[in-house]
Amino acid sequence: MKKREVHIVGNWKMNQSLHEISQFFIEMTKMKMELKCKAWIAPQAIHIPILKEMAFTTGSIYIGAQNCSQFDSGAYTGEISPASLADLGVEFVIIGHSERRAIFGETDEVLNQKLLACLKHNLKVIFCVGETLEERQNNQTFKVVEKQLLEGLKNLPQDKAHLLMIAYEPVWAIGTGKVATAEEAEEVHAFIRSQLAYHKDSTIILYGGSVKPDNIGSLLQKDNIDGALVGGASLKPQDFKQLCTSASVLM
Ligand code: PEP
């Protein structure tokens, strides 16, 4: 039995056509899962309302966003307002994914502003941290993660800290097929937990990076690994279901 609820979060990135989305939910409905874990999906922002409707009929899948602006409204062409996400009834937002950091140049300072903007609207946040391969090889993993947490979680209001979840995603493991060993991940998860200012025991810390149905079991055995943030393997309903089933066994 896990101490904290196990979460399986699908990050669909910029994937899934409308046809693929409806097939996903048709298959999920057919499989009639008895979910004991929390199953969450973050589709492309444009698909959020459609997924919310489909997830409502399937039941018990929460829908979130992969990113949002640090601003509520104004002249920010192409951005996604956290106020509008809250209006839509979105349950969570992923902030600081390594693709946002590396490809779109999002700094710790901007990510901190985004986090605070989401919390203001009572949106749950999955805040991502993780080192590159070079940083790991230079023994800088803990230093890098510590800085990302210190700067990213700056001024976290105590009364909103229960809305925060962390995802440890080593950049070298994302989309590469190279998963961190359960021991490597647990070591960083325990470190992250020790760094939290509030709710040290109850904060959910997810692992992300090439999680698949055949490797999730050993990761979830670890005390400080409370679930997974999953890219590739969350796109196929069979795999997503299997990930949720493995997680449900522990609840
Ligand atoms: C991710 O994008 O957060 C991720 C972990 O991707 P993948 O599972 O494909 O490595």
34-57 pLDDT, tens per residue?
778 899 999 999 999 999 988 877
d(CA 102, CA 195): 24
For residue 29, what pLDDT is reported? 81
33: confidence class by pLDDT, cuts 50, 70, 90? low
Atom number of ligand 1 nearest to Cα 175: 10
Strand partners for 63: 41
Query: At residue 2, does pLDDT exceed 90?
Result: no
For residue 59, what pLDDT is reported? 66
Which residues neighbour 91 within 8 Å (Cβ) at sequence distance 6 or greater?
A: 40, 62, 63, 64, 123, 124
Query: At residue 251, does pLDDT exceed 70?
Result: no
d(CA 184, CA 86): 36
d(CA 38, CA 34): 11
Query: At residue 28, does pLDDT exceed 90?
Result: no
Q: Which residues surround ligand 1 with Cβ inside 6 Å?
A: 11, 169, 174-175, 208-211, 229-233
Identify the active-site residue in 99, 135, 169, 186: 169
Mean pLDDT of 219-228: 96
Angular region, 113: left φ>0, alpha ψ -120 to 50, beta rest: alpha
| Test site for ligand 1: of 174, 214, 236, most ligand atoms within 8 A of the Cβ | 174
Mean pLDDT of 114-141: 98
Identify the active-site residue in 97, 99, 186, 189: 97
Beta strands in the chain (DSSP E): 7-11, 38-42, 61-65, 92-95, 124-129, 164-168, 205-208, 227-230
d(CA 156, CA 112): 9
Of the CA atoms within 13 Å of residue 187, those in its CB half-sphere come to 9
Q: How far is the CA of 174 from the centre of ligand 1 (A)?
A: 5
CA gyration radius for the chain?
Answer: 17
169 is catalytic: yes
Mean residue pLDDT of the chain comes to: 95
For residue 97, what pLDDT is reported? 98
d(CA 12, CA 33): 20
Query: At residue 111, does pLDDT exceed 90?
Result: yes
For residue 235, what pLDDT is reported? 97
Residue 128 C-alpha from the chain's centroid? 7
19 is catalytic: no
Angle made by CA atoms 10, 43, 222, in degrees to the nearest 5: 15
